[in-house]
Amino acid sequence: MEQRRVREFFRGLRSPLVLDGGMGTQLAERGWHPPMLPEEMCLHMPQAVLEVHRGYVASGAAVIETNSFGGSVRKLSLKGLGDRAEELARRSAELARRAAGDQVLVAGSVGPSGDMLKPLGDMSFQEAVMSFEPQVRGLVEGGADLILVETMLDLKEAKAAVEAVKRVREDMPFVVSFTFDRDGRTVSGDSPEAAAIWAEAVGAIGVGANCGLGPRGYVEVVRRLAGAASLPVWVYPNAGVPSAGDYLGPQEFAEGCAALLEAGASVIGGCCGTTPEHVKALAAMAANRSLAATDAAGGLRLCGRSKVFSFGPGLPLGIIGERINVSRKSPIREQVGLYRYGAVKEEARSQALAGASVIDVNVGLPEIDQVRAMREAVWAVESAAPLPISLDSDDLGVLEAGLREAAGVPLINSVTAKEEQLRLGMRLAMRYGAALTVLLIDHRGILEDGLERARIAERVLEAAREEGFPGSRIVFDPLTLTLGSGEANGLETLRAVREVVALGGLTSLGISNVSHGLPARGLLNRSFLAMAMGAGLDMVICNPLDRELMGIVKACDALRGRDKGLSCFMAFGADWCDVPSGGALGALKAKQPEGGAVGGSKAPDGEVHLSPLAAKVLDGDEEGALGEARRLIDLEGPLGVISDHLVPALDEVGRRYETGEFFLPQLIEAAQAASAVCALAEEELLREGSSASRGTVVLATVEGDLHDLGKNVVATVLKSHGYRVVDLGKDVKAERIVEAALREGAQVVGLSALMTSTVPRMKEVIEETHRRGCGFKVIVGGAAVSPWYARSIGADGMSYDAVGAC
Ligand code: B1M
């Protein structure tokens, strides 16, 4: 179907549409088995793939998916097929097309690449795009009607896949579907709202949830997706939990899916464990139903990975925290100049705590590579605060670097209304799914008259209509000029604000310029802010750590009817009145978090009290942690640093991860900080260590397990006690371990495992040593290993910690 018609079709959808079901099990029934990849069936057994598609069409599917899920270059490269990505995808689309005919739509499936994007993994955004591009090209050439980017675990990888779609064909319709966990987030911590808002902003024709925990597990997720964006919601759950293996039958599955339709789904199908019978039951259940009415919020919405903020009439003033800016002399300027970001994280955290809704990032130092700095600063901010980001630069290349890295819907700050810049800015915002701040300044420069500035906004809205960019995603900045250079400057800006508001536009201002060159700057700034809020201002760029200013924001929001139930003011006011002596403002200043650091010994009652080193590890602050560790090693020794600071910190990280306070990004950041401290401790231990040789130990973390921090500590301690250690690393197969031990003439093999799912791999190693009649001993350890378990698998020794291993 022609791209435009596909879009119209989904926009006009009034009754549920049925998507097909699982592919893998259907292929297995027709002769597929590993190590062949399912995608290779399109080349080697095309008839079998055709049969699966035809089975689903006959069962009532109105959309079928191509057999190309794992067809990215990176995924295929694992089997040496990377250079055939385009061909495989094209073949898969041709087969689906043949089975679909004209009446059924073909969705080109694009699953995750299997690697994580930086900073969580090693893949750059560009590499991810290049890995998806040939796959998408093949699908388009083979006749897919739309692309279905699916099972995404990270919003950034989804962003890269969408970029690949747009590069191949700008107007290709696409849907983005995520896999949400039991707690309603993706593994990377993306919320359904963030996924839906971003999908809408980037121009998807649908947003979805697939795989997961069965139909019932997705009811709430579907409700949240449908409530966050005016897009059709696709949902195609597993027939149950794959690892449990007990799948729902067709009827039960269809009944579960009825609740998904009621929650707001428009397109419904099946993932793992579903068959043509499931799809048949779904089609029967969905027949004669119409789509449930959903009510997605309007207005401007920005989001980070998890936090969504709405701005506009009737809503509280949006606070854009301005402190991450290199234009002033500060630790941020010094550090960003060296591509270091500890201070950036610190500021992001403290501004978030102080009530910012958006964090502005400006790395515009002329002497540095600003593209790199913007990319890395965005990573730093995201690791410290889940808020939306405002990308602050006048260089479109730097803005694009930030847009690629920011998970969620960021704000571009800013472009002028000069024709070319404006249009380029809008296209960038559409390409990546962002909002755009437009300064009301055009080829004539800054106009004194506020009304004239507002006329520029009218022309901007006209250009937006031409570009197809929603006016609701534009924020107008009418410019603040200093009162010192013209006494009407303040009034003209306020007039421009009022006029833009009357046009239905959103407004934002930086306020501090009003007092430039004048005394009592704070007084003027705050008074100006109060007046601008009275004129209808929606957002302000300011310092959220200025509590007096924040007090005015809360009070004005309450007074102008933008604080429902006065809840924000009441919460803020309670704090404000809590004054022992010396005036309210003074007391509030005293209560402010200094520098905003979390953790440390100031943890509230009931929480674990962590040392400063542990707190730095928890914050993922590698530089800070190293600084603390250097100081402590002299006092407590390297082993003391590990056992008394690192292990408690990582235990707390594990606890927070388990309770959903932390997600994978924080887990990885903390692990990186801990690794750096471990390496430092190792240097120290080895310096202290003995030089006598007590024998050879081969060490490894078992297959499937990537946790190697503990194993590294064990290696260091053994070395320092005079053993020769051959460290095989992590994720090591049983045969490799045994072969290495034989080759190295080891007396002992040491195995580490941290997950309940990987502990059984230890048994495999021991069985392999018995099978080969090896003479060495095997000792085991790691948080998930108990003495009982060690005995039961025939291990020769077990230790809870590194010293015990000696
Ligand atoms: Co992950 N992880 N992790 N993780 N991680 C745990 C283990 C977890 C308990 C967190 C939680 O949910 N509470 C959980 C496992 C749940 C379970 O199976 N029951 C978990 C999970 C679920 C995951 C992922 C699946 C998350 C995801 O992707 N959704 C994923 C799995 C990846 C994989 O392995 N396939 C994952 C990933 C990661 C990171 C990569 C981000 C990172 C590891 C980085 C790295 O190691 N390079 C990480 C981390 C850091 C942790 C926690 C927070 C900390 C582990 C650690 O390093 N502890 C951990 C929670 C926790 O343990 N509190 C968690 C410090 C270290 C010094 O202690 O390793 O126990 P430990 O070693 C000690 C002793 O055990 C002993 O001596 C050491 C020093 O005293 N010891 C031995 C260890 N090996 C020994 C061998 C011996 C003798 C003693 O003889 C040979």
* Residue 56 and residue 276 in contact, taking contact as beta carbons nearer than 8 Å: yes
Cβ-proximal residues to 747 (8 Å cutoff; 6+ apart), any chain: 695, 696, 697, 776, 777
Query: Which protein residue's CA is at the shortest distance from atom 18 of ligand 1?
Result: 755
Contact yes or no for 514/485 (Cβ under 8 A): no
Rounded to a whole number, what is the largest CA-CA distance in the chain?
Answer: 93
Q: Are 15 and 291 in contact (CB under 8 A)?
A: yes
Query: What number is the average pLDDT over the span 316-345?
Result: 94
Dist. CA 150–CA 142, nearest whole Å: 19
In the block, residue with structure tokens 């794992």:
70
Token readout for 603 is 């943890």
Give the pocket of ligand 1 (CB within 6 Å): 187, 647, 650-651, 653-654, 657-658, 664, 667-668, 671, 675, 704-711, 713-714, 750-752, 754-757, 779-784, 799, 801-802, 805
Same CATH fold, 301-572 and 3-286?
Answer: yes
Query: Three-class SS of residue 736?
Result: helix
Binding site residues for Zn(2+), as ranges? 211, 271-272
Atom of ligand 1 nearest to the CA of 754: 7
Q: What is the tens place of the pLDDT at every residue in 104-159?
A: 999 999 999 999 999 889 999 999 999 999 999 999 999 999 999 999 999 999 99
Binding region:
211, 271-272
CATH topology of domain 600-688: 1.10.1240
In this prediction, residue 307 carries a pLDDT of 92
SS3 29: coil
pLDDT per residue as tens digits for the range 210-259: 999 899 999 999 999 999 999 999 999 999 765 556 789 999 999 999 99
Q: Whose CA is nearest to atom 5 of ligand 1?
A: 654
Residue nearest to atom 59 of ligand 1 (CA): 654
- Ligand 1 atom with the smallest distance to the CA of 751 is 91
All residues at 6 or more sequence positions from 540 whose CB lies less than 8 Å from its CB, including other chains: 317, 318, 319, 320, 508, 509, 510, 511, 529, 532, 553
> Mean pLDDT score of the chain, rounded to an integer?
91
pLDDT digits (tens, 9 = 90+) for 432-465: 999 999 999 999 999 999 999 999 999 999 999 9
Q: Which pLDDT does position 662 carry in this prediction?
A: 85
Give distance in angstroms: CA of 711 to centre of ligand 1: 10
**pLDDT score, position 668:** 85
Contact 478, 508 (CB under 8 A): no
Tokens 């790691």: give the residue. 782
DSSP 8-state class, residue 593: P
pLDDT of residue 26: 94
pLDDT at 244: 59
Residue 684, pLDDT score: 87
Q: In whole angstroms, what is the distance from residue 86 CA to residue 12 CA? A: 32
Q: Where are the domains of the chain?
A: 3-286, 301-572, 600-688, 696-805
Spell out the residues 6+ positions from residue 661 whose beta carbon is closer than 8 angstroms to its own. Answer: none
Alpha helices per DSSP H over 341-449? 342-353, 370-384, 396-405, 419-432
Residue 667 near residue 631 (C-beta atoms within 8 A): no
Tens-digit pLDDT profile for residues 296-311: 666 799 999 989 999 9
Give the per-residue pLDDT at 572: 86
Give residue 4's pLDDT.
Answer: 92
Architecture of the domain defined by 301-572:
Alpha-Beta Barrel (3.20)
Q: What is the CATH number of domain 696-805?
A: 3.40.50.280
Average pLDDT for residues 177-198, to the nearest whole number? 94
Nearest CA to ligand 1 atom 78: 710
Q: Give the model's confidence band at 554: pLDDT under 50 very low, under 70 low, under 90 confident, else very high.
A: very high
- Using the predicted structure, report yes or no on whether residue 340 has a pLDDT greater than 80: yes
> CA–CA separation, 661 vs 654, rounded Å?
10
504/760: higher pLDDT = 504
What is d(CA 719, CA 723) in angstroms, rounded to the nearest whole number? 5
Q: How far is the CA of 798 from the centre of ligand 1 (A)?
A: 17
Residue nearest to atom 28 of ligand 1 (CA): 664
- Atom 72 (ligand 1): residue with closest C-alpha? 710
CB 713 within 8 A of CB 670: no
- Tokens standing for residue 654: 């594990």
From 754, 762, 766, mutation site for ligand 1 pocket: most ligand atoms within 8 A of C-beta: 754
Ramachandran assignment for 229, one of left (phi > 0), alpha (psi -120 to 50 degrees), beta (any other): beta
Nearest ligand 1 atom to alpha carbon 711: 84
Our mutation pick for probing the ligand 1 site, out of 183, 186, 383, 667, counting the most ligand atoms within 8 A of Cβ, is: 667
Span 667-685, pLDDT tens digits: 888 899 999 999 998 888 8
For ligand 1, atom 21, the nearest C-alpha belongs to 755
755 CA from centroid of ligand 1 (Å): 7
Instruction: Name the fold adopted by 3-286.
Output: TIM Barrel (3.20.20)
Edge to edge, the sheet with strand 777-781 lists: 724-727, 696-701, 748-752, 777-781, 797-799
Q: In one letter, which amino acid is 312?
A: G
pLDDT band at 663 (very low <50, low <70, confident <90, very high): confident
DSSP class of residue 577 equals H
> Residue 214 corresponds to which amino acid?
G
Q: Which atom of ligand 1 lies at the shortest distance from residue 709's CA?
A: 46
In 635-747 the beta strands, taken as DSSP E runs, fall at 696-701, 724-727
Phi, psi angles (nearest 5°) of residue 105: -90, 150
Tallying the residues shown for the chain, one arrives at: 806
Give the span between the Cα atoms of 15 and 261, in whole angstroms. Answer: 10
Q: How far apart are CA 41 and CA 71, in angstroms?
A: 12
Give residue 418's pLDDT: 96
Distance between CA 459 and CA 682 in Å, rounded? 63
pTM: 0.78
Task: Look at ligand 1, atom 80, and give the residue with the nearest C-alpha.
Answer: 801
670 Cα nearest atom in ligand 1: 50
Task: State in Å: Cα 801 to ligand 1 middle.
Answer: 13
What DSSP designation does 777 have?
E
Amino acid letter for position 186:
T
Other beta carbons within 10 angstroms of residue 367's beta carbon come to 6
Atom 91 of ligand 1 has which residue's CA nearest to it? 750
The rounded distance, in Å, linking the Cα atoms of 81 and 44 is 14
CA of 754 to the centre of ligand 1 (A): 5
Residue 786: is its pLDDT beyond 90? Answer: no
How confident is the model at residue 722, as a pLDDT?
78
**Which atom of ligand 1 is nearest to 668's Cα?**
41
372-381 pLDDT, tens digit per residue, is 999 999 999 9
pLDDT of residue 596: 30
The candidate with the shortest Cα–Cα distance to 269, out of 232, 215, 198, is 215
Confidence bin at 757 (pLDDT 50/70/90): confident
Three-state helix/strand/coil letters over 492-543? HHHHHHHHHHHCCCEEEEECHHHHCCCCCHHHHHHHHHHHHHHCCCCEEEEC
Helix, strand or coil, per DSSP, at residue 334: helix
Query: Radius of gyration (Cα) for the chain, nearest Å?
Result: 29
